[in-house]
Amino acid sequence: MAQPHSIERPLWTVVGEGAIGLLAAARLYRAGYPVQLHRRVNGPFQFVFQSAAVSQQIHLPHQAQPPYSYVLLPVKAYAVLDALHQLLPLLADNAQLVLSHNGMGTIEQVLPLLKPSQGLWFLSTSHGAFKSDDATVVHSGMGQSVSGALNQAALAQQLEVEQAMQAALGPFTVLEDIWPALWLKLAVNAVINPLTALHQCKNGELENIKYAAAIRLLIEEFVLLAKASGQEVSIEAIEQRVALVIKQTADNYSSMQQDFAKGRRSELDYITGFVLKQAEQHQLQLPAHQAIYQLLLQKSPR
């Protein structure tokens, strides 16, 4: 069993207390990394980490100490900018920042706010985790993660980030170009999330033949946009990936289904909204994405 602290490993700061953040914090801690949580409120923080193999209390420092050199920012896309404005004065000059969320559109917002010496990464993960209560995180599905450097300063500390993310959310691969993986993930989210939110169903329900035409249309339109944006994707490849994710997560409710069910803000603007904004820039009409966006807007809490 890993020891709680090590002097050789660098201190990581995990932002927020979402399920993926706590999962990463627990796994870093178990691998011997010092870890602190940057939260809106300071105070004692301990939680239980549960996986198939273990159930362990994780005790983290009461208060996060700046400057932050290594930061994992696994907050929803719409919360990234606010979190970043809070973090900016606390970041070390050569800090490494790892974003991780569904949807796209934040990288362009974050990059210009960082110093040239501060590295930016994006990490996409398929690990499943949920909080069974405020102080318990359950590692519900073993997944893997890919990441890519988004600026020169990130490349300067690739080894440190790679080792830590291997521990936190591995198996972990650094891709030379993260964008194809991001577009593929966006495709999956732009099909499964809005459909399950609209029909308030589990992911597996989308295997029903009654959804086949809608899925096909969303994918065809997505491929038009991806190609216009310089991505080499095929309808077949996306169809296969969407079908695989539906199968693998058949029993799950998507994050957007849950957000709508609970009346919470969703990532719609960073998934379908992002798709539509990009389409506008390329002067493309995507009526199926447009229609589902409008329908969901009407159902949105805000």
> Which structure tokens are listed for 102?
């569904």
Q: How far is the CB of 103 from ligand KPL (least distance, A)?
A: 9
State the Cα–Cα distance between residues 21 and 244, nearest whole angstrom: 25
Q: Is 185 one of the annotated active-site residues of the chain?
A: yes
> Which structure tokens are listed for 299?
């159902």
How many residues bind ligand KPL (CB under 6 A)? The answer is: 11
Q: Using CB under 6 A, which of 36, 145, 189, 278 touches ligand KPL?
A: 189
Asked if residue 136 lies in contact with residue 163, where contact means CB atoms within 8 angstroms, the answer is: no
Q: How far is the CB of 249 from ligand KPL (least distance, A)?
A: 5
Q: Give SS3 for 151.
A: coil
Q: Using CB under 6 A, which of 19, 161, 192, 238 touches ligand KPL?
A: 192
Residue with tokens 């398929």: 126
Residue 64 backbone phi and psi in degrees, to 5: -75, 135
Closest Cα to residue 64, out of 82, 81, 47, 39? 39
Q: Which is nearer to ligand KPL, 96 or 255 (CB)?
A: 255
The stretch near ligand KPL (CB under 6 A) out of 16-24, 169-177, 205-213, 245-253 is 245-253
Positions 133 through 172 that interact with ligand KPL (CB under 6 A)? none
> Which structure tokens are listed for 239?
């169809």
Helices (H), 93-234: 107-110, 152-155, 158-169, 179-199, 212-228
Q: What element of type H or E holds 69?
A: strand 68-73
Letters for 197-216 (x = contact with ligand KPL by CB under 6 A, - = none) are: ------x-------------
Q: How far is the CB of 205 from ligand KPL (least distance, A)?
A: 12
Q: Using CB under 6 A, which of 13, 96, 100, 249 touches ligand KPL?
A: 249
Q: Using CB under 6 A, which of 125, 147, 157, 193 touches ligand KPL?
A: 193
Active site residue: 76, 115, 131, 185, which one? 185
Longest dimension (CA), the chain: 57
Q: Which is nearer to ligand KPL, 67 or 171 (CB)?
A: 171
Q: How far is the CB of 185 from ligand KPL (least distance, A)?
A: 7
Cβ within 8 Å of residue 120, ≥6 positions away: 97, 99, 107, 110, 111, 114, 149, 150, 151, 153, 154
Q: List residues with catalytic annotation.
A: 185
Positions touching ligand KPL (CB under 6 A) are 102, 188-189, 192-193, 203, 245, 249, 252, 254-255
